[in-house]
A = this chain, B = another copy of it.
Amino acid sequence: MAEEAAVRAQAEAVRRLKQDKADPDEIAKEVAKLLEMKAQLGGDEGKHKFVLKTPKGTRDYSPKQMAIRERVFNAIITCFKRHGAEVIDTPVFELKETLTGKYGEDSKLIYDLKDQGGELLSLRYDLTVPFARYLAMNKITNIKRYHIAKVYRRDNPAMTRGRYREFYQCDFDIAGQFDPMIPDAECLKIVHEILSDLQLGDFLIKVNDRRILDGMFAVCGVPDSKFRTICSSVDKLDKMPWEEVRSEMVGEKGLSPEAADRIGEYVQLHGGLDLIERLLQDPKLSQNKLAKEGLGDMKLLFEYLTLFGIAGKISFDLSLARGLDYYTGVIFEAVLLQQENDHVEEPVSVGSVAGGGRYDGLVGMFDPKGRKVPCVGVSIGIERIFSILEQRVEASEEKIRTTDTQVLVASAQKKLLEERLKLISELWDAGIKAEMLYKKNPKLLNQLQYCEDTGIPLVAIVGEQELKDGVVKLRVVATREEVNVRRESLVEEIRMRTSQP
């Protein structure tokens, strides 16, 4: 009886949390507690009700999803290799200390491991900080590398829009002391190549520079100590209207209304070389050393982008801020534009699919003597790209094969298992991708149906007569055509019939 009262109390607690719109994690925890109490109460066997699911914000990839994922990875890796990148890998967790102080306000989203004795560990939050740690640890001052791996954020997942707690990042970075804007321009070229190659529709790459932002904050009258927090507010402009951002600056962050209004004028500016030239003449900005440096480099960047033939897709945009603390120079973000058929006059951005920037100070944070290694890099937002392509495949009803099998080894009569095993072994040893049904005496119809279902193009059929004649009957699934092929020519025949055009 006391237990039942406890369950009722717990149920009431859950109800209240839901009513108060408490943190979903908090609610989930209390619900779990409730379920456990109920299970203990209800079951005579004391059998615990097991929830069959993946952790919140994560997902499995089915073979079909993997087929799409591999397509996208291939396009990205091909591009990274085209630009001469090496590849590295790092552990999924780092010493907790390694991640401390790198992510500003977002640090609360880091997954920590339980202290089970030994070192304190956290799951990596991105691939950039592990990369900087790797450079400092190995005293590397010069590298161009890519890294494709999963990262972890205890964020509120929005899985339908491709936002997960476990997700892939595909990073390409150039580290080293080089002449201005040459590696930076290459990063933008890479984004342009990948997004064009994947045919995701029209896109735009916004660029800005942390030095221009800081210079702008200075001339607008933002105190130095508020640069980072005001920058975080500006970063929200892609999700919130200016009025809300302004009231956050003035209300929460204590900025003067005049300073906020001056910022408000700048952040609506976007354009190309013309805007850069205009701002270089701006009486206030041109007096600020940082802003002038940033604008000079921005001009150089646009010259290089013009040589690359991609300046048309690039927009210098003063509202672009990027959340991460470690950026020091150029920053950029690629957004997909809504399709025309959505009946909207001007194309509207539907979300970021790539981003990056320059971070010249991060490696120095790990070096005992603070030696700096300038870096610039780009991260492809693969999960959102997956979501788009998955939806597209489903809408098109395109049939995606999930295996590469070239031939099914089948039999028309019973008692031929041994012959099937012998033949398939020959084919495997010759490098042919082959399957058979794991039945002693499968029906021919079932074997043919399996090919239809999985897209296997050929069937090699063994039968008493064929064995006597030293041939195998090769059937083309699509046309139902059948030919007898001499056993010693079978491998060659299968290769010929399944070679990609």
Contacts and interface: CB of A to CB of B under 8 A. Distances in A.
A66 B89 contact: yes
B179 A440 contact: yes
Interface in A434-488: 434-435, 438-440
Interface stretch (A110-118, A260-268, A324-332): A110-118
B307 A418 contact: yes
A154 B116 contact: yes
B145 A81 contact: no
Given A55-B94, A189-B425, 16 more contacts: A25-B117, A26-B117, A53-B137, A54-B91, A55-B95, A56-B118, A60-B89, A60-B138, A63-B145, A92-B92, A112-B116, A113-B123, A114-B114, A178-B438, A179-B438, A185-B421
Interface of A: 23, 25-26, 28-29, 32, 50-56, 58-63, 66, 69-70, 81-95, 97, 111-119, 121, 123, 133-134, 136-138, 143-145, 150, 152, 154, 166, 174, 176, 178-179, 182-183, 185-186, 189, 193, 304, 307-309, 366, 368, 402-405, 417-418, 421-422, 425, 428-429, 431-435, 438-440
Number of copies: 2
A185 B134 CA distance: 44
A116 B111 contact: yes
B29 A118 contact: yes
A91 to B, nearest CB: 4
A55 B308 contact: no
Contact of A304 (B84, B92, B179, B421): B421
A63 B116 CA distance: 32
A412 to B, nearest CB: 18
5 contacts: A53-B95, A82-B434, A93-B166, A112-B113, A182-B438
A443 B431 CA distance: 48
Contact of A425 (B50, B119, B150, B309): B309
B55 A428 contact: no
Contacts of A145: 63
Nearest to A437: B178
Nearest to A61: B89
Contacts of A134: 60
Contacts of A368: 50, 52
Nearest to A308: B425
A60 B88 contact: yes
A366 B51 CA distance: 9
4 closest A-B pairs by beta carbon, nearest first, are: A63-B86, A178-B438, A25-B118, A84-B435
A88 B113 contact: no
B86 A66 contact: yes
A434 B29 CA distance: 53
A293 B428 CA distance: 30
A193 B424 CA distance: 13
A439 B179 CA distance: 5
Contact of A54 (B25, B81, B90, B136): B90
Contacts of A61: 88-90
Contacts of A53: 95, 137
B55 A133 contact: no
Given A81-B404, A93-B58, A307-B425, A52 B137 contact: yes
B81 A421 contact: no
A138 B28 CA distance: 22
Nearest to A108: B116
Contact of A56 (B56, B58, B119, B308): B119
A315 to B, nearest CB: 20
